[in-house]
């Protein structure tokens, strides 16, 4: 490549948050050296990977002032990303737009999702956007939660979306994104909610505010998730309340921040088996990325 | 006095049925305070949440918690009605966190039996809980009545009633107590 930067062909690792770690391991390289990403090997993208990839692109754009070009996008990936409003964020440069005939229709049948929506980092604007996202979710809830349908589940998700989105402008010092989708994975139906930012992260938030004793970055994440602690106020309820809702719904929650993560697999909880998994020493990726999923 | 929260939210151009975020809580609190201008001492303020589905912790912190604090300053009582299950869970979670991290507890009366099988929301102990239940049947009671009901000595009952008064879950009427 003429400008000294390179083309990177990314592997097919956008299938779930755990395989996506393979892409995050290339983050530093993407941030400094990559100007084109070849997507030809990607066969599937789920919401957490999509939003995290978007954050990567945005960090590059902010750092270098130039957009990374996505090339060789398989048509179905291009269609999906367009449907999710991925390109509306204008973070990546994409050669060509889809022919009108190939654009996925936005009928009620394809309404099992909440398109990528940016959450501003100012309280007033952030609250207005959250209110719109909740209104959209209320409208599409019966489709998104078709396999879990029960008014209580919808109300639980309203609480979860509201709490996590507010954490973006309350704690991250950056804007973030929310997205949600129901999709099929093997024999299972999965509903996945993603709320992520590339702000100061959980560690940064507690460093700036009130301290808390912890053994490792992942331990701090677990404390933030399971105890009513806050980096800003005397105590916090949001994340802790979200965790208890996910437990009630027997879902899973993954919370990744900088170089650590905690996964709580309440669908596997029972007896003496372990359901909370801490990971330290992950490839660094700034901010806080959260995903909640239910399977049926 | 009754505040219809749904109507009040619509008047304030807040999107319903969900009441979420701190700015919305602050806005609703300001409007409630305006309405409370002529509330009498010892009066009960009934917050009617009919039609409201979700109230999140930020809204609860800015609206319900602040109204409870305001009621203590101005000597009126707050009572909730038509609270959804998820709102009850969220209110209970906020009150528990508040009480764990402060020297004082916070609780509120409610008109109907909740999913917790109680007529209040908040972190009460077993004796306090039983006494609140007792007041649902016996609108008014003295220390002696409560002592007979609970089997506790009068000095212990006095301490418990002081706490329930502080939590504003009961009212004192000369030598007797009445429910909120």
pLDDT tens track for A148-171: 877 789 999 999 999 999 999 988
If we measure between CA atoms, which residue out of B50, B61, B45, B65 comes closest to residue B16? B50
| Number of domains comprising chain B | 2
The CATH code of the domain that includes B19 is 3.30.750
A180 touches chain B (CB under 8 A): no
Task: Supply the range of the domain harboring residue B156.
Answer: 124-180
**N-term to C-term CA, chain B:** 13
B103 and B146: one domain?
no
Instruction: State which of B106, B122, B138 marks the end of a domain.
Output: B122
Q: Does A43 touch chain B (CB under 8 A)?
A: no
Tell me the per-residue pLDDT of B99-124, one tens digit each, with 9 for 90 and over: 877 788 999 999 999 998 999 999 99
- The values of phi and psi at residue B44, to 5°, are -100, 130
How far does A224 lie from chain B, in Å, by closest CA?
A: 13
Query: What residues in B contact A167, CB-CB < 8 Å?
Result: none
Has residue A236 got a pLDDT over 80?
no
Chain A closest CA to B115's CA: distance in Å? 13
Residues B60 and B14 in one domain: yes
- Give the closest-approach CA distance of A289 to chain B in angstroms: 21
Question: What pLDDT is attached to residue A270?
Answer: 76
Q: Which domains does chain A have, with CATH numbers?
A: 6-97 (3.30.750.24), 109-296 (3.30.565.10)
* B129 & B112 share domain: no
What span, in angstroms and rounded, lies between the C-alpha atoms of A210 and A234?
Answer: 9
B110/B145 same-domain check: no
From the list B24, B54, B61, which residue is nearest A155 (CB)?
B54
Decide the pairing of beta strands B2-4 and B140-141. unpaired
B128: domain CATH number? Answer: 1.10.10.10
Smallest CA–CA distance from A233 into chain B, residue: B101
> A238 vs B53: CB contact, 8 Å cut-off?
no
Binary contact (B15, A134; C-beta < 8 A)? yes
Residues B118 and B169 in one domain: no
Helix axes A217-226, A238-248, angle to 10 degrees: 80
Per-residue pLDDT at B13 exceeds 60: yes
Query: Which residues in chain B have Cβ-Cβ distances shorter than 8 Å to A236?
Result: 97
Give pLDDT tens digits for A161-206. 999 999 999 888 899 999 999 999 889 999 999 999 999 999 888 8
| Residue B22 to residue A127, Cβ atoms within 8 A | yes
Are B74 and B101 part of one and the same domain?
A: yes
Judgement on whether residues B66 and B141 belong to the same structural domain of the protein: no
Q: A120, A162, A165, A169: best mutation site toward chain B, by most B Cβ within 10 Å?
A: A162
Q: Looking at the structure, do residues B77 and B146 belong to the same domain, yes or no?
A: no
- Please report residues of A whose CB lies closer than 8 A to that of B85: 152, 155
CB contact under 8 A, A130 and B20: yes
Q: Domain check: are B133 and B176 in the same one?
A: yes
pLDDT tens per residue across span B15-74: 999 999 999 999 999 999 999 988 999 999 999 999 999 999 999 999 999 999 999 999
Residue B97: the pLDDT is: 85
Residues of A with Cβ-Cβ distance to B20 under 8 angstroms: 127, 130-131, 134, 158, 162
In the predicted model, is pLDDT for residue B139 greater than 90? no
Option in A130, A155, A241 nearest B84 (CB): A155
| Inter-chain CB proximity B24 and A127 less than 8 Å | yes
Q: Please check whether residue A278 touches B, CB under 8 A.
A: no
pLDDT of residue A122 exceeding 90, the answer is yes
Residue ending a domain, among B93, B122, B151, is B122
Task: Measure Cα distances from B114 to A34, B46, B83 in Å.
Answer: 58, 16, 8
Same structural domain, B48 and B114: yes
Q: Nearest CA to CA, how far is B142 from chain A (Å)? A: 38
Q: Which of B25, B32, B35, B170 is nearest to B109 (CA)?
A: B170
Write phi, then psi, for A85 (nearest 5 degrees): 65, 25
| Residues of B with Cβ-Cβ distance to A152 under 8 angstroms | 85-86
Domain boundary among B86, B104, B122: B122
> Are the Cβ atoms of A241 and B57 closer than 8 angstroms?
yes
Nearest by CB to B100, from A159, A166, A235: name it: A235
Task: Calculate how close chain B gets to A198, using CA atoms only, in Å.
Answer: 22
Greater model confidence, A141 or A9: A9
Shortest Cα–Cα distance, B119 to chain A (Å): 22
Written as one string, the DSSP assignment of B114-150 is -TTSSSEES---HHHHHHHHHHHHSSEE-HHHHHHHH
Residue A262: predicted pLDDT: 97
Helix (H, G, I), strand (E, B) or coil at A225: helix
pLDDT category at A209 given cuts 50, 70, 90 is low
Interface ipTM? 0.89
Cβ–Cβ contact A33 with B under 8 A: no
Residues B24 and B104 both lie in one domain: yes
| Yes or no, beta carbons of A158 and B86 under 8 Å apart | yes
Strands (E) located in A104-246 = 113-119, 176-185, 188-197
Alpha-carbon distance A53 to nearest alpha carbon in chain B (angstroms): 28
Whether residue B47 is found in the same domain as residue B103: yes
């Amino acid at each position: 490549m003429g400008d000294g930067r390179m083309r990177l062909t990314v592997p097919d690792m956008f299938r779930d948050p755990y395989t996506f770690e393979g892409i995050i391991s290339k983050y530093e390289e993407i941030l400094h050296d990559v100007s084109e990403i070849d997507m030809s090997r990607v066969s599937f993208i789920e919401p957490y990977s999509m939003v995290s990839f978007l954050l990567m692109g945005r960090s590059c754009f902010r750092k270098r002032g130039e957009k990374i070009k996505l090339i060789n996008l398989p048509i179905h990936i291009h269609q999906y990303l367009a449907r999710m409003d991925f390109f509306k964020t204008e973070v990546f440069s994409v050669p060509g737009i889809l022919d009108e005939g190939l654009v996925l229709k936005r009928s009620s049948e394809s309404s099992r999702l909440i398109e990528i929506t940016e959450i501003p980092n100012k309280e007033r604007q952030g609250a207005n956007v959250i209110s719109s996202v909740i209104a959209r979710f209320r409208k599409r809830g019966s489709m998104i939660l078709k396999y879990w349908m029960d008014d209580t589940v919808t109300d639980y998700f309203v609480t979860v979306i509201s709490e996590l989105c507010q954490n973006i402008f309350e704690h991250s010092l950056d804007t973030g994104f929310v997205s949600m989708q129901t999709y099929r994975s093997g024999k299972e139906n999965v509903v996945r909610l993603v709320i992520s930012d590339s702000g100061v992260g959980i560690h940064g938030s507690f460093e700036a505010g009130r301290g808390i004793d912890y053994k490792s970055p992942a331990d701090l994440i677990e404390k933030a998730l399971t105890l009513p602690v806050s980096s800003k106020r005397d105590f916090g309820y949001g994340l802790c309340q979200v965790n208890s809702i996910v437990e009630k719904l027997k879902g899973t929650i993954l919370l990744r921040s900088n170089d650590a993560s905690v996964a709580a697999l309440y669908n596997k909880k029972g007896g003496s088996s372990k359901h909370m998994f801490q990971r330290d020493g992950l490839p660094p990726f700034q901010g806080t990325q959260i995903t909640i999923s239910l399977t049926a | 006095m009754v505040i219809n929260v749904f109507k009040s939210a619509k008047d304030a151009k807040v999107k319903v049925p969900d009441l979420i975020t701190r700015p919305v809580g602050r806005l609703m609190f300001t409007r409630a305070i305006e309405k409370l201008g002529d509330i009498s001492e010892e009066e009960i303020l009934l917050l009617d949440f009919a039609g409201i589905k979700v109230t999140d912790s930020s809204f609860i912190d800015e609206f319900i918690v602040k109204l409870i604090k305001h009621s203590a300053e101005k000597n009126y009582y707050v009572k909730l009605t038509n609270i959804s299950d998820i709102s009850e869970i969220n209110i209970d979670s906020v009150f528990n966190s508040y009480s764990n991290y402060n020297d004082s507890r916070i609780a509120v009366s409610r008109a109907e039996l909740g999913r917790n099988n109680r007529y209040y929301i908040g972190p009460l102990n077993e004796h306090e809980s039983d006494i609140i239940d007792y007041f649902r049947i016996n609108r008014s009671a003295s220390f002696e009545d409560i002592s007979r009901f609970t089997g506790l000595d009068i000095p212990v009952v006095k301490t418990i009633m002081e706490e329930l008064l502080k939590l504003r879950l009961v009212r004192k009427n000369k030598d007797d107590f009445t429910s909120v």
